[in-house]
Structure 1
Amino acid sequence: MNTFGSNFKVTTFGESHGAAIGVVIDGCPPGFSISETDIQIFLDKRRPGQSDLVTPRQEADAVQILSGVFEGKTLGTPICLLIHNTSMKSSDYNELKEIFRPGHADRGYLQKYGIRDHRGGGRSSGRETAARVAAGAVARLYLQKKGIIISGSLIEVHGDKNPDAIEKAIRDARDTGESVGGIVQLQVSGCPAGLGDPVFGKLDARIAYAMMGIGGVKAVEIGSGVQASKMIGSEHNDQMTPEGYCSNHAGGILGGISTGQEILVRLSVKPTPSVRTLQRTIGTDGYEKTLSVHGRHDPCIAVRIVPVAEAMMALVLMDVLLEQRKIDPDKKPGF
C-alpha cells in the first residue's frame, strides 16, 4: 500500500533509481503559509552524503512544489511535492539482477509481483522515505502553529549510549564493511489531550503502525515499553494529583487517547542489511550462491531514520487532529 492516513492522506511514488520520487498530499487544510524552503529544512536532515557516517550517495533532495500552493499559502487542494534523483549508479547493482541480497526485500518483491526493480531495491529502498519526510514537513509546520513540537534523537548504537562510543561503533562498522543497528527516541510536547480513538483507532496503535512501516524498524516501544512487564501495577500507573500526573509510564497515551503529557516512543532499528561480509544466499534460479554487497550504503541506517520517524509521527498526529475536528469542531478551536 502506498497511501497513508485517512484525513491527511499521503501517497508516495517513485523508486530509488527512477527519475524522481515524490508525494501527493490530500486533505491539507487551506490558508497556511508554506514554501519549498520550509520543507527543505527537514529534507536536509535526512539527506545522504552529509558525513562519513552515512552513505556517500550525493543527492541534493531539492523539493519542488508542483500544486496545491498559491502565493505561498495552501489551497486545500492536493499538494504534489517532487524530488528528482540525480546521483544514481545503477551499474553498482548489475550483479544483483539474478541474485537475492540477504536481509533485503528482493525475493519478497519477486514472489509477490513476479517482477522487481533490482537497482537499489527499487521501491523498497530507503530512498522512498525522502517523500515521507517532505509530506511530514507540511504536517509538522501545521502542528507547530498549534504548539505541537516533535523531536527525535539517536540514543543508542550497537549497545552503546555514549556519543563517542556511538560514533566509533558506526565508523568501525563502515571500515570493516559491516553494519550496526540502533535505537531512535521520539518526544512530542504540546500535544493536547483527547486525540485518538478507542478500540481500533488508538493513538498508540496508529503510531506503532506508522513506525513499523519504516524499513528497518523491528520493534516499537511507547512509554515504559517492555519495562512495563517488569513492574507492579501501582508502580506503572501514572498516579494523579490536582497539579497533574506524577509519572509518565504510559508515554502520554491512555486508552488509546492522548493525555496531554509528553508522548514518548522508541524504535529498535536493525543493522543495514547491505554488508561486504561474504554471505550465503540463492539466485533467481534457486541455486545457492555467495554474495558480498558493495556500493554506497549506510553503516547504520538508524542515523537517517530519525527525521523519517519524526515525519511519520507528524503524519499520525495531523491525521488524528483532523479527525478530532469532526466530533469537536467548536469546543477546542485550537485544533
Structure 2
Amino acid sequence: MKLRKLREKLSQLGLDGMLVTNQYNRRYISDFTGSAGVLLISPSEAKLLVDGRYTDQAMDQAKEFEIVQSPRNLLQAITDQVEQMGIKRLGYEADHLSVTQFNQYKDNINAELAATSKIIETLRIVKTEDELVQMRGAAQIAEKAFQHILTVIKPGITERDISAELIFQMQKLGASGPANDPIVASGWRSALPHGRATDKVIENGDILTMDFGAIYNGYLSDMTRTLAIGEPPAELKKIYNIVLDTLEHSKEKAMPGVTPRELDKFARDYLDAQGYGKYFIHSIGHGLGLDLHEDPFSSSEEVFEENMVFTIEPGVYISGLGGVRIEDDVVIKKDGVEVLTPSNKKLIIL
C-alpha cells in the first residue's frame, strides 16, 4: 500500500525513480529499522541498499524490497543500481541532503536529479490503524511514567534526578528510549519553554514543568504536565487554570476541515482575551509519529483529516515568575478527538 502510493506520486511528478535517504521515511516505506541504508524505488523495482552489518535485519524486515549488500560507502552502489534499474530521472529528498552529498550524487549518478520535498512526509500524515496502535502504546508508557514520577518528586531532589527517573521508568515499561531529552524546569526556570534538566534542586513553592515522551516500536508520544511542589504563587495558579481552559477549548476545535493555523490562532486569541497572549511564545502544536516534530505544523494551511495525530500544547511563560505548559497528544476523529494522554490535568500540588 505504501509503495503503491509512493509510486503514484512519482508518476504524477514525472519521476521514474526515487532515492530515499531520510531515516524516518526509509522506515515508513520499508519497515527497516536499521540506522543506515538507502532505498531506490522505480515503477517495477524496490531495493534496499545496506552494508553487511544490516543484511540479515533488512531481509527479515523489508519484505517488499530486494536487499542489496554494499560497502559502507553506498555512493558506488547507488550509482550502479540506478543504471541497472534504468532510472533516467531520479528524485531525491532535497530537505534531507547536504550540499556535499548532492555534489557527490551529481558527479557520479548517470541520471537527471530532481529535487523533491515532503513526498513521503505527506504520506505519513494520516496514520494507519497499526500506527495508531503503536502510538497509543507510546502514550500509555509515558502516562504510567508520569504517575510513577509523582511518587518520587519532593523538595531536595534535582531536575536531573527527575529526568533520569522518567527515562528509566519508560524503558522499564517497554519503551526503546525517550522521545526527547526530557524538559524538566522548576521554579523560575519553568519560564524556559525548552529548559532541559539541570542540577537545580526542587524547592517548596516551585512550579515544575515536565515535557517528555516514549518511543514504542518506532512511534513517539509527547506530553507535558505542570505541577506544584507546595503552594505555588497565586498568579501561577491563575495562569495554570487559563492554560488548561485553552487546552480543553482547543481540543474541541480540532476536527476535520480545520487547519493547524486556524487552531493556533484560536488558542492565541483565547489567551489574548485572558490577558496572557503575549506570553504564549511558541506554536499550539505539531504533528507526531515516527518523528517528534513532523507534518502538519501549526503554520500549515492543510486541513486536519481523520487519523492525523497532533499535539496541543498551550503555554504561558513569564520571566522571573515561571511558566505553565500542558500538552496532550490527540488523534483527529470525525466526531472530536481521541486523547492519547488522558491523565487528570487539574493542578496537582504535592
Q: What TM-score, normalized to structure 1?
A: 0.23
> Which is bigger in relative contact order (C-alpha 8 A, separation at least 6)?
1
Q: What TM-score, normalized to structure 2?
A: 0.22
